[in-house]
Amino acid sequence: MEQANTIRARVGFAHRGRDFGTSFGQNRYTGEIDLDTRELEIRNARLVTEESLDERGFTLIRHRTKVTDFRDQAQLDSIYDREVHDLIKEMTGAKKVIVFHNQLRDNSPTAGKDIRKPAFFAHIDYTEDTFRIRAREKLGDEADHWLAQRMVAFNVWRGVRPVEEKPLAVCDARTVKEEDFVETPILERPGEPTPYVGMPLSYSSDQIWYYYPAMQPDEVLVFKQCDSDHDRVRWSPHVAIDDPGMGQPRPRMSFEARTLAFF
């Protein structure tokens, strides 16, 4: 089937210049957030001949996993963390890589209440300061040494099964400005503050968005969420979208791993 060059999809953004914190912290998992919703053109990234982490801030690669059940924490700990560690180290040449957070998302109606749904507003997971907090949590006594080096956060995202519903769209990092973000404290649950700060994205007409239609389980989307070298592209925001060409898609089940690479 011939692939379309672009699709039209609705994307939720933070309102520029408006406090997003209370709404985000209390209702981020229910969808009851006052968003600035826009209908955008989303480009088919499979038709792009030039793409890289250094240029656009994202790339798609082939990657097979030996994990047979992404709900099995033992497999994630013993197999997947090492696979992701080795992937990022090989791709980037980093001296050290840590995998510090894994997340299963399941949009089926039978998914348990503790299983997160696809993220419905454009964002970067954390601020650079928060990524440094996460690094200290993981690195312990080694933290000062490694945080003195260049640090880059990469997200490794895949479909557990073929992605038909709510594929992930990513923004060309060259088209995102620091002032586009609305820094917002993160609550894991209502009334449960954390030391972390997220970065919901506000809309700008300069932003250019892409997605990979029909991602397969042996493909991973790797995208940048932070770079301590501010002379490089730093962020590729992401959001779940609806692909109108998929007809009646199966519910999305996906898995993401957050990593930090040090150079």
CATH code assigned at 90:
2.60.120
pTM of the model: 0.92
* In a domain? residue 118: yes
* In a domain? residue 17: yes
Q: Per the structure, how many domains does the chain have?
A: 1
Take residue 20 and report the two structure tokens written for it: 């997003």
Q: Would the pLDDT of 12 be above 90?
A: yes
Q: Which residue has the higher pLDDT, 247 or 92?
A: 92
pLDDT single digits (tens) 179-219: 999 998 887 766 778 899 999 999 999 999 999 999 999 99
* In a domain? residue 151: yes
* In a domain? residue 1: no
Confidence of residue 34 (pLDDT cuts 50, 70, 90): confident
Range of the domain at 130: 6-262
Contact 7, 245 (CB under 8 A): yes
Beta strand spans in the chain (E): 6-13, 36-44, 58-62, 96-106, 123-124, 151-159, 168-171, 184-189, 192-200, 209-211, 219-227, 238-240, 253-262
Confidence of residue 23 (pLDDT cuts 50, 70, 90): very low
* In a domain? residue 191: yes
Confidence of residue 73 (pLDDT cuts 50, 70, 90): very high
* In a domain? residue 104: yes
pLDDT single digits (tens) 105-157: 999 888 877 788 898 999 999 999 999 999 999 999 999 999 999 999 999 99
* In a domain? residue 157: yes
- Average model confidence (pLDDT) across the chain: 91
* Mean pLDDT, residues 4-9: 91
Q: Would the pLDDT of 1 be above 60?
A: no
Comparing CA positions, the residue from 188, 202, 195, 227 lying closest to residue 130 is: 195
Strands 58-62 and 96-106 turn out to be unpaired
